[in-house]
Structure 1
């Protein structure tokens, strides 16, 4: 006999894409006596939780919705229960249910159902704009639309690693980007420090990202991935356009990090409370010259190591006439060490916004990768 979890999942699977929340609410009313449900999605800036059905967004730190989102656990407050909505570490938002459940078994079941909603949102989003539209606090520029569609997600959690990234200014980013993939044995991460303005910058980054994916999916080694992307960009732009890129691959069984530094963004290693920049061979950016021969370097990671990748837009951000700089970066990176990668990224970006008193003018990308050690 099917339980309430199974019935809720079946209701989600069978619901039309525009009625996911309606059909889920009906099922929860039958099984749990829920009278109201609302989905709050986090916006592109990671600063607002926006209700899908309209109404007041949640911005105040310490609100039960943000505590649920930040800690990724159910929060019961007053007559409402708040449940994290996401999948495999990708945080999409929170689900508010009224009235709050009264026993732990119901809380656990509703938490599992909220996760199932996260999976279903990911499944249907390719074929509808409803949920994308509802998670933007303002209109994206065309270049930003292209960049966000290019991303694999914003956070990822597996037993051996967790990672997260963010683009700024979120609603007007142009060329900075990141990409990742894992197959259970390795995780690949590329970070692009884009060049140019507007759509032209987004198109150049898109070309590099798809070329790197094509090479990766073809089974090429990291240096050969860089060479293929280098050739693709040079063939089109003949050296007039190029991209600073950092390519990384982590062997999940050993923690062996392979790196190709193609004129890259900054790489910072946090180990035992100390921040350092590994000595990398600065090679030519992708597309600068024809037939560049890229070389790989190797670093052995230790359990608990954290890697931050930041583009020039971070350290060069200006508050008035003052540059953010390496000192401020080192301070905030140390301060975020106890946080999960997405929270660490949010904290760094929030510090940058406070420093420049608003959105960044130049593009910036921040990526954080934690190596938690080999797991079966």
Structure 2
């Protein structure tokens, strides 16, 4: 006979897409005596946990829900339990249940059930707007809607690396973006520093991103991926529009990083608490000229290295005519050493918001990559 965890997993896989949490709540009440089950999803700014149902949003950093989200561990407080909801390093939110069982085995089962819910949310995301709509506390601009739909996720974890990225202003971003993919032997990462305004900027980034994906999935070398995207943008705009990009390919067996700098965002390395900018040969942005011949560079990562890719919207963020600048950025990046990549990205964006006392005016993208070393 199957146990309560198996029954809950089966309930999730059999539930209609719009009733995942409702059906799960009924099963948890039968199996564990839980009378309240609520899903809280993190919003686009990584600033508030929003309830799917009638609960109150959670924004206070000391709240048990945020401790659960930040540390990715169950938190039990005042007779209620909070369990991280996510999949493969992608943090989606937390599951709130009460009253929470005191049995340690039941707590472990609820933790596994929350993870299963994260997988189901990912599986149904393309077929319903319910969960996407509940993640926003304001309306996205059309350009921002297009940009977020392009992203592969916001964080990714494998034994050899951990990766996270964020866009700002989250609800009004235009042209900045990132993309990644891995196949167990290599990790591909592209970061685009877009240009233009509104939907036009988003369309330009979308064209470049899809061209890069097309070339990557054809197994072209990194320089050829850049060349194909360059030709796609040039063919449409004849040099009238172009955009900067940084393309990276990491060999997961050796730590060798291959890079193509197409007028790129900055690549910074945090090693032994010191921040240095990786020296790269800057080449023409994608779409600026016809038939650009891109060249690859290579360097070796050490286990424990952390890389940041930041667009000019980070360094050029301005408050009262004062730039955030390289010095402030270096100082802040050194402080991120103990943080997980998503927390480091979120903290940097939060520091920028505090600096400008609100949302950024210009687009900014931040990506953080930790290299742990080759894994068996």
1:55: Cα distance to partner? 2.8
1:372: Cα distance to partner? 0.6
1:130: Cα distance to partner? 0.2
Partner of residue 291, structure 1: 291
Query: How far, CA to CA, are the matches of 1:248 and 1:160 in structure 2?
Result: 16
Partner of 1:94: helix, strand, or coil? strand
1:141: Cα distance to partner? 0.1
1:230: Cα distance to partner? 0.3
1:103: Cα distance to partner? 1.6
Partner of residue 360, structure 1: 360
Partner of residue 206, structure 1: 206
Quick check: 111-120 or 5-14, which moved more? 5-14
Query: How far, CA to CA, are the matches of 1:55 and 1:25 in structure 2?
Result: 15
Partner of residue 310, structure 2: 310
Partner of residue 197, structure 1: 197
Count of aligned pairs between the two proteins: 376
Query: How far, CA to CA, are the matches of 1:156 and 1:79 in structure 2?
Result: 32
1:319: Cα distance to partner? 1.0
Query: How far, CA to CA, are the matches of 2:204 and 2:166 in structure 1?
Result: 19
Confirm whether residue 28 of structure 1 aligns to residue 28 of structure 2.
Answer: yes
Partner of residue 170, structure 1: 170
Query: How far, CA to CA, are the matches of 1:295 and 1:178 in structure 2?
Result: 21
Q: What is the RMSD of the two structures over their aligned residues, measured on CA atoms?
A: 0.5
Partner of 1:126: helix, strand, or coil? coil
Query: How far, CA to CA, are the matches of 2:351 and 2:373 in structure 1?
Result: 29
Query: How far, CA to CA, are the matches of 2:185 and 2:8 in structure 1?
Result: 33
Query: How far, CA to CA, are the matches of 1:232 and 1:309 in structure 2?
Result: 24
1:67: Cα distance to partner? 0.1
- The one-character-per-residue Cα deviations of 1:158-205 (angstroms, maximum 9, x if unpaired) are 000000000000000000000000000011000000000000000000
1:208: Cα distance to partner? 0.2
Partner of 1:127: helix, strand, or coil? coil
Partner of residue 113, structure 2: 113
- The one-character-per-residue Cα deviations of 1:31-79 (angstroms, maximum 9, x if unpaired) are 1111110000000000000000033100011100000000000000001
Query: How far, CA to CA, are the matches of 1:361 and 1:267 in structure 2?
Result: 22
Q: How does 1:1-376 map to 2 (within 5 A)?
A: 1-376=1-376
Partner of 2:21: helix, strand, or coil? helix
Query: How far, CA to CA, are the matches of 2:183 and 2:101 in structure 1?
Result: 38
Query: How far, CA to CA, are the matches of 2:62 and 2:55 in structure 1?
Result: 19
Quick check: 101-110 or 160-169, which moved more? 101-110
1:30: Cα distance to partner? 1.2
Query: How far, CA to CA, are the matches of 1:305 and 1:54 in structure 2?
Result: 43
Name the TM-score, length of structure 2 as normaliser.
0.99
Query: How far, CA to CA, are the matches of 2:186 and 2:249 in structure 1?
Result: 7
Partner of 1:184: helix, strand, or coil? coil
Name the TM-score, length of structure 1 as normaliser.
0.99
Gaps of 5+ in 2: none
- The one-character-per-residue Cα deviations of 1:96-121 (angstroms, maximum 9, x if unpaired) are 00011202111110000000000000
Query: How far, CA to CA, are the matches of 2:175 and 2:228 in structure 1?
Result: 20
1:152: Cα distance to partner? 0.2
